[in-house]
Amino acid sequence: MDKFTTLSGIAAPLPLVNIDTDMIIPKQFLKTIKRSGLGVNLFDEMRYDDDRAEIADFVLNQPQYREAQILVAGDNFGCGSSREHAPWAIKDFGITCVIAPSFADIFYNNCFKNGILPIALPQEQVDVLMKDAEKGSNARIEVDLAAQTITSSDGDVFSFEVDSFKKHCLMNGLDDIGLTMEKAASIDTFEASAAQARPWV
């Protein structure tokens, strides 16, 4: 997995609440057996019209946001399905940090498996960053995972919470499965005792 340590990038504003996984990556793009190549279809139905032409006023189609690396959005981002195609599409587009007042649980977890940092902040702080993002490519937002801070282009500094284990994995690009395999003895022991306690399983 790619590491995430610091990021200084353009933030795209998407001030909608309840952005769901069907919006992020519609179902017709889930028929892939790969993880790559989904960036072109990120927010597909908001981004392209029926003839596959770009919808000019959608944020990621605007020249100043085409290279965005951060997304600032409304409450309950990523609600809906468990599809990891959503973070895959976000990452493939080039966005590695999403800032919102809250995230849906499964999406939030999926981000950390893919080198993406989701940051939940109080609404008023998201509002500040949303305004900052609306300034376009002149405004770069800085994210420092080690320090757990976000700095707006005006110098406002906000600190954010992140689970220590998730932070450790993200900063070091660690593979969860490899880490768990190191605890194989604990799993073996548990499995043996569970087989005694609940033999019907």
Partner 1 sequence: MSPKTLYDKIWDAHVAHEAEDGTCLLYIDRHLVHEVTSPQAFEGLRMAGRQVRRPDQTIAVPDHNVPTTAGREDPANMTEDSAIQVAALDKNAKDFGIHYYPVSDVRQGIVHIVGPEQGWTLPGMTVVCGDSHTATHGAFGALAHGIGTSEVEHVLATQTLIQKKSKNMKVEITGKLRPGVTAKDITLSVIGATGTAGGTGYVIEYCGEAIRDLSMEGRMTVCNMAIEGGARAGLIAPDEKTFEYCTGRPHAPKGAQWEAALAWWKTLYSDDDAHWDQVITLKGEDIAPVVTWGTSPEDVLPITAKVPASSDFEGGKVGAAQRSLEYMDLTPGTPLSDIEIDTVFIGSCTNGRIEDLRAAAEILKGKKKKDGLRAMVVPGSGLVRAQAEEEGLADIFKEAGFEWRLAGCSMCLAMNPDQLAPGERCAATSNRNFEGRQGRGGRTHLMSPAMAAAAAITGKLTDVREMM
Residues near partner 1 (CB under 8 A)? 15-18, 20, 22-23, 26-28, 30-35, 45, 50, 74-76, 79-84, 87, 102-106, 109-110, 113-114, 123, 163-165, 176-177, 180-181, 183-184, 186-187, 189-191, 194, 197-201
| Residue 155 or 201 with smaller CB distance to partner 1 | 201
| Residue 113 or 131 with smaller CB distance to partner 1 | 113
| Residue 26 or 94 with smaller CB distance to partner 1 | 26
| Residue 65 or 103 with smaller CB distance to partner 1 | 103
* Smallest separation (angstroms) from partner 1 to the CB of 126: 10
Burial class of residue 140 in the structure, from the number of CB atoms within 10 Å of its CB (0-12 exposed, 13-18 middle, 19+ buried)? middle
Nearest to 111, CA basis, from 126, 93, 92, 97: 97
* Smallest separation (angstroms) from partner 1 to the CB of 152: 20
* Smallest separation (angstroms) from partner 1 to the CB of 14: 12
**E strands in 69-198:** 70-73, 97-100, 117-120, 140-144, 149-151, 157-159
Dist. CA 76–CA 172, nearest whole Å: 28
CA torsion 173-91-76-104 (nearest 10°) is -50
